[in-house]
Structure 1
Amino acid sequence: MNQTFKNLAQVYKDTLLNNVVPFWSNHSVDEEYGGYFTCLDRQGNVYDTDKFIWLQNRQVWTYSMLYNRLDPREEWLKIAKQGADFLAKNGRDELGNWYFALDRVGQPLIQPYNIFSDCFAAMAFSQYALAAGDENAKEIALQAYNNVLRRQHNPKGKYNKAFPGTRSLKSLAVPMILANLSLEMDWLLESNQLEKILAATVQEVMGDFLDTETGLMYENVTPEGKHLDCFDGRLINPGHGIEAMWFVMDIANRSHDLNLVNQAVDVVLNTLKFSWDKKYQGIYYFMDAQGHPLHQLEWDQKLWWVHLETLVALLMGFNLTGRQECLDWFEKVHNYTWKHFLDDDYGAWFGYLNREGKILLNLKGGKWKGFFHVPRALYLCWQQLETLHLKSK
């Protein structure tokens, strides 16, 4: 087993540094206008030049993170700066809210209709400020973070299409991302502020969204944490639920709360048992808690980020608890993921498979897929496997 952890760590490391990072460094940087191209076909050719704020900020974060945590390569810092400068100039409206999309030169295309652009801006500029020692970036990070705190209970604000008062639902996405974001902002926040926010987000995620009967994480609940019998109220998003659980494990590990770690591991394992496709393998994109038909027509697709976040959660869970079921599931998900998503011919990873596991979209990046989930997961899995290798000596 010791040799297995060592060999696997090398696989994740090599794929990150010699496959994924070079693909995006070579193909995504817009040298003329700044920022990044994310709409890349299989070979890395650009097929659309619009710039989506989530993905722009995520790419700044990833290159800055690699610079800070792995190796201070000037090339990585230069690419991070390329995006940070473009975003600082063009990314926000006059009130400081972050747009959803810009055209290639930086003119706004889509209004700042929810807070997730602000979340990723705070993550990006916090990590970039740490890498570059940039005071302006630090101010941008804090302004974006305060935006998120201010708008967290009404994330879409004036852009909310729902009629007020009839069917009020809150989304798991907000507290789960706030938990991870707050950890990212750790070095910029007062200690008591960070601990207060982390405690509140964990309480909300594990208290309101976790269904104690099924052990599953619901995507939407009422403001009081109750279920509603409707499409959105029955929705299970396996990838979100599992990703949220490794955020919770990360927080629980800070305070040595093994009970909370085990509770999060239970949710991961329950979710996998519920959402694993027993006929074709892989994890479904969406599920209905009661087995009813879903309105998301893509419900049975197999997505890259869902599987990658699951690998992170399973390794973290095994590392923190030693529970064999985590390792058994890791082997199963690892085998499926590496067989179906990695492109040995042109580099980088495919993102979208149909239920049978065949490539659905022949792209490496688009409106929703950029340089984030793949490199982050490869890095985190590599680190977890290195730790497991050292522990098993």
Structure 2
Amino acid sequence: MEKKDYSRRSFLKHNSLAGLGILTAGSSLAFTADNSIADPVNNTSEKVTKIAGLSVKQLRDKYREELFDRFIPNMDKYAIDHEYGGVMCSLDIKTGELANSNKTAWFVGRGLWVYSFLYNNLDKNPRYLEIARKSKDLLLKLQPKDDSFWPRTFSNDGKPLSGPGDIYGSLFVAEGLFEYAKASGEKQYRQLAKKIIFDCVARYDKPDYIYDISYLPGAPKIEGPRVLGHWMIFLSLSTQMLKHEPDADLEKLAARSVDAIMNYHVNPAYGLTNEVINHDMSIPGNEYGQFSVIGHGLETITFVMFEAARRKDRTLFEKARIVYKKHVDVATDALYGGYFHSLQNVDKYDWDIRKSLWNQQEVLNGALFLIEHTGDEWGYRHFERTDSYIYDKFYKPEYKFWHSGGDRKMEKPNISLLEHYHHARQLMLGILSMDRIIKRGNKVSGLFV
């Protein structure tokens, strides 16, 4: 497979959306991080023969082995609370030994989604549905009586250990509930999920909404900030629920989220997403105008591509594809491998150089999407590069779970946190994608032709 120089030195600070090559249907050009024309859209293959050096079936089977023979059994043995429900993530990933049995709305909600999605899409094992049911019951014990967010942390048996958490905790509860509703056939949980989502939207729309930006310590407060990560989750949840069944309200939320992401958060000066903008959707004149959680950016744009697939919207896909590829190219660590997740200041080129597993896995999700639907050679290259990197740096076969992150070289990896959501999602989405490819006789989908 052709090798490519992924040097980040060529990044230009003053790109425009026109220079990015935001496409109209029928255009045939794609652009790298430096805006040079290097990846024409027709640099594709009509058949998917090998991905990362393996046949599609071999790679699919590798994913199935990791999911069903390693991850799920270790979750069952070390992390799932079979008595009270939910997942406990504060553990030593080497041994599986728990540091404590406390839980969070983030992780229990995500775990509810993982087991419900697994049941719905890959294996109708009643054990998975039972794990999901107990997670659901635990979360509903903690349901706020007002419009507060779910408690941030709670004991293993469901006693609050903190006050309300942030918006994401409630949204991940909603994500778990609507997927569980499909698995169990209990539609009331889809309705509850929808209510939680729109309660969060209403809270987010208030001019006095407050959210602390942990990725940029010391940055000034913004009244009622517009946050890329919020639109990201609103869109992801809307797209998933709309795949289950039609809903006019969710269509509007998906459209609003796409508009906010593509037309306001993608900075026209340099073509990367701003994590935080003003309540009126204008770009801040302070530190936030130079700040990009580029990992959120590439993850969010992947969700835009997923939404384009649901709509069969070629124009949206072409626009998103270019922005996605730029984020991945710019985030590339050409020296030590992998991808950075946060650009603290664009013009100063000041990076947070730590590495996170979730960021690498979102590169895989987007690259595989491009492979499946377009046969894009760029997708093949980045998938192979990333797959090799994560197995080299984040995976140890003798450990119970993967590293969730670490320093730039992954010489000091995190060993005290189980990351069960992005890992399981990347494996499950990958298996489903490769199943579709195999079913089509290894042909690309041609969805956007």
TM-score (norm 1): 0.89
Are 1:113 and 1:159, in contact at CA under 8 Å, matched by a contact in 2? Answer: no
Separation in 1, partners of 2:423, 2:230: 22
Q: Which residue of 2 aligns with 1:201?
A: 257
Separation in 2, partners of 1:216, 1:181: 23
Q: Secondary structure at the match of 1:182?
A: helix
> Please, which of 371, 376, 392 is the counterpart of residue 339 of structure 1?
392
| Closer/same/farther in 2, CA of residues 68 and 152 from structure 1, 3 Å limit | same
Q: Which residue of 2 aligns with 1:137?
A: 189
Q: Which residue of 2 aligns with 1:60?
A: 112
**Greater share of residues in helix:** 1
Separation in 1, partners of 2:381, 2:221: 46
Over the matched positions of the two proteins, sequence identity in percent amounts to: 25
Q: Which residue of 2 aligns with 1:77?
A: 129
Separation in 2, partners of 1:159, 1:231: 16
Residues 161-185 of structure 1, C-alpha deviation per residue, up to 9 Å, x if partnerless? 9999966642101111101111233
Are 1:51 and 1:102, in contact at CA under 8 Å, matched by a contact in 2? Answer: yes
Q: Could you tell me which amino acid in structure 2 is paired with residue 28 of structure 1? A: A
Kindly indicate whether residue 435 of structure 2 is the aligned counterpart of residue 392 of structure 1.
Answer: no
Separation in 2, partners of 1:96, 1:136: 21
Number of residue equivalences: 385
Q: Which residue of 2 aligns with 1:186?
A: 242
> Please, which of 55, 60, 64 is the counterpart of residue 9 of structure 1?
60
Kindly indicate whether residue 85 of structure 2 is the aligned counterpart of residue 34 of structure 1.
Answer: yes
| Closer/same/farther in 2, CA of residues 323 and 224 from structure 1, 3 Å limit | farther
Are 1:40 and 1:363, in contact at CA under 8 Å, matched by a contact in 2? Answer: yes
Q: Which residue of 2 aligns with 1:23?
A: 74
Q: Which residue of 1 aligns with 2:430?
A: 381
CA RMSD of aligned residues (A): 2.6
Separation in 2, partners of 1:328, 1:277: 15
Separation in 1, partners of 2:388, 2:212: 41
Q: Could you tell me which amino acid in structure 1 is paired with residue 271 of structure 2? A: G
| Closer/same/farther in 2, CA of residues 157 and 306 from structure 1, 3 Å limit | same
Residues 63-122 of structure 1, C-alpha deviation per residue, up to 9 Å, x if partnerless? 011001111101101111121111111243455642221122322223224321221111
Q: Which residue of 2 aligns with 1:101?
A: 153
Q: Compare 332-341 and 380-389 and name the one that shifted more.
A: 380-389
Separation in 2, partners of 1:201, 1:188: 19
The CA deviation at 1:204 is 0.8
Separation in 1, partners of 2:82, 2:247: 40
> Please, which of 265, 271, 277 is the counterpart of residue 221 of structure 1?
277
Separation in 2, partners of 1:5, 1:306: 23
> Please, which of 293, 296, 300 is the counterpart of residue 353 of structure 2?
300
Kindly indicate whether residue 284 of structure 2 is the aligned counterpart of residue 234 of structure 1.
Answer: no
Q: Secondary structure at the match of 1:211?
A: coil
Are 2:239 and 2:310, in contact at CA under 8 Å, matched by a contact in 1? Answer: no
Are 1:221 and 1:227, in contact at CA under 8 Å, matched by a contact in 2? Answer: yes
The CA deviation at 1:141 is 1.9
Describe how 1:92-131 pairs up with structure 2 within 5 A.
92-95=144-147, 97-131=149-183
Q: Secondary structure at the match of 2:180?
A: helix
TM-score (norm 2): 0.79
Residues 293-314 of structure 1, C-alpha deviation per residue, up to 9 Å, x if partnerless? 46xxxx2111010000110011
Describe how 1:349-388 pairs up with structure 2 within 5 A.
349-365=402-418, 369=419, 371-388=420-437
Separation in 2, partners of 1:96, 1:215: 35
Separation in 1, partners of 2:244, 2:203: 20
Residues 141-192 of structure 1, C-alpha deviation per residue, up to 9 Å, x if partnerless? 2331231232232498477799999666421011111011112333777532
Q: Compare 66-75 and 352-361 and name the one that shifted more.
A: 352-361
Q: Secondary structure at the match of 2:99?
A: strand
Are 2:223 and 2:279, in contact at CA under 8 Å, matched by a contact in 1? Answer: no
Are 1:280 and 1:357, in contact at CA under 8 Å, matched by a contact in 2? Answer: no
Q: Could you tell me which amino acid in structure 2 is paired with residue 107 of structure 1? A: K
Residues 282-327 of structure 1, C-alpha deviation per residue, up to 9 Å, x if partnerless? 1112112213546xxxx21110100001100111122223321121
Question: Where does structure 2 lack aligned partners over 5 or more consecutive residues?
Answer: 1-47, 444-449
The CA deviation at 1:280 is 0.9
The CA deviation at 1:137 is 2.9
Kindly indicate whether residue 365 of structure 2 is the aligned counterpart of residue 315 of structure 1.
Answer: no
Q: Secondary structure at the match of 1:216?
A: coil
The CA deviation at 1:251 is 0.9
Q: Compare 282-291 and 219-228 and name the one that shifted more.
A: 219-228
| Closer/same/farther in 2, CA of residues 267 and 108 from structure 1, 3 Å limit | same
Describe how 1:149-160 pairs up with structure 2 within 5 A.
149-154=201-206, 157=209
Residues 235-255 of structure 1, C-alpha deviation per residue, up to 9 Å, x if partnerless? 211221111112111111122
The CA deviation at 1:21 is 1.4
The CA deviation at 1:273 is 1.8
Q: Which residue of 1 aligns with 2:20?
A: none
Q: Compare 17-26 and 101-110 and name the one that shifted more.
A: 101-110
Separation in 1, partners of 2:232, 2:151: 21
Q: Could you tell me which amino acid in structure 1 is paired with residue 385 of structure 2? A: K
> Please, which of 303, 317, 329 is the counterpart of residue 382 of structure 2?
329
Are 2:210 and 2:224, in contact at CA under 8 Å, matched by a contact in 1? Answer: no
